[in-house]
Amino acid sequence: MSWLQQVLEQGIFAVTAEAGPPKGPDIEVIRKKCAQLKGAADAVNITDNQTAIVRMSSFASCLVARECGVEPVMQMVTRDRNRIALQSDFLGACALGIQNILCLTGDHQSLGNHPQAKNVYDIDSIQLLQMFRLMRDEKKFQNGEEMKGEIDVFLGAGENPFADPLEFRALRLAKKFAAGAQFIQTQAVFDLEIFTHWMEEVRKLGLHQKGSILAGVIPVKSAKALRYMKNEVPGVVIPDVLVRRMEKAADPKAEGVQVCVETIEELKKIEGVSGVHIMAIAWESIVPEIVRRSGLYPRPIKSEVTSP
């Protein structure tokens, strides 16, 4: 069983972080990020060509992370691979001991650095979850053919409580759990009001008991970065008061961390939130401080070594 799953099943408020692979073959980049995150997070998401920009593969980077003693969450998007390639890579990842997979559809390539590329989108994230669950629990490929061997994997998905149509968002979460998601990492929370309302809907539907919900947070370094996210990043909702607060701050970096810590404190109070997912993009070194100041340190220690 993956360590992340164990932490969540023990009812411990979980912490996950995120590390993006390098735009090149230098694995030192991953080692450095892992060294910064080790001990601060129970597992670390390794992104899959995030924002449709070519990077080292999530699969390879996950193996590096494991060598560094960090438990990876391998992100897989359906943008670039069809069901044949996804199942094949899933088997490879499981065989090499990757135990957490996050199923995503992925950012459209026209927003990335190869907008001329052909996309795949053979299946969507919900169908991806369903397919991996079928392989794990029923030992069947997507086409129904029998498969041999045991798979031990913890399946997750993303969800965005802030995107339109807002009324559909909790129902979409229900679909993800029904398709096989065991944990959910949400889009970054800046607007606690919308998030709290979404969680109310989630609880009304009893979804917080169907799996673990980890709320996403992003520490921002400046008002400019925040404004950029507000205007340019699809699916992120940022209240104006927050932008003004960052604008007025004498030390914006410190204020960004403070906002993040305060958000986590609020999230901890919301019934049904089982952990936080800290996405410190290109600022991994700040994660230990955020974890410490949010009262989430030290992290539980692995009783057994899971590396082969």
Partner 1 sequence: MIIGERKPVKEILQLIGDRKKILVLGCGTCVTVCLSGGEKEAKELASLLRIKKYQASDYTVERQCEPEFIRPLDYRLKEVEAVLSLACGVGVQALADRYPRTPVFPGLNTTFLGMPVEQGRWEERCGGCGQCIVHLFGGTCPVTRCAKSLLNGPCGGSKDGKCEVKPDRDCAWQLIYDRLKLQGRLDALLEIQPPKDWSPSRHGGHRKMIREDMLL
The residues that touch partner 1, with contacts defined as CB under 8 A, are: 79, 83, 105-108, 110-111, 119, 121-127, 130-131, 142, 158-160, 163-165, 167-168, 171-172, 174-175, 178-179, 187, 234-235
Measured over all CA atoms, what is the biggest interatomic distance in the chain, rounded to whole angstroms? 62
User: How far apart are alpha carbons 154 and 108 in whole angstroms?
Assistant: 26
Instruction: Kindly tell me which of 121 and 297 has the beta carbon lying closer to partner 1.
Output: 121
Beta bridge partners of 77: 104
Q: Min. distance of Cβ 102 from partner 1 in angstroms? A: 13
Distance CA 177, CA 179 (A): 5
Question: Which residue, 108 or 253, is less far from partner 1 as judged by CB?
Answer: 108
Cα(78)–Cα(232) distance, integer angstroms: 23
Please name which of 154, 152, 213 lies closest in space to residue 187, comparing C-alpha atoms. Answer: 213
Helix (H) or strand (E) holding 227: helix 223-232
- In the complex, what is the shortest distance from the CB of residue 176 to partner 1, in angstroms, rounded to a whole number? 9
Q: Which is nearer to partner 1, 83 or 203 (CB)?
A: 83
Minimum gap (Å) between residue 71 Cβ and partner 1: 25
Q: How far apart are CA 78 and CA 133, in angstroms?
A: 16
Produce one character per residue of 253-271: b if its CB has 16 or more CB atoms within 10 Å, e if not: eebbbbbbbebbeebeebe
Closest distance of CB 173 from partner 1, Å: 10
- Toward partner 1, which CB reaches closer, 95 or 171? 171
We find the least distance from the C-beta atom of residue 70 to partner 1, in angstroms, to be 26
Residue closer to partner 1, measured from CB, 88 or 119: 119
Q: What are the structure tokens assigned to 305, written together?
A: 């070594």
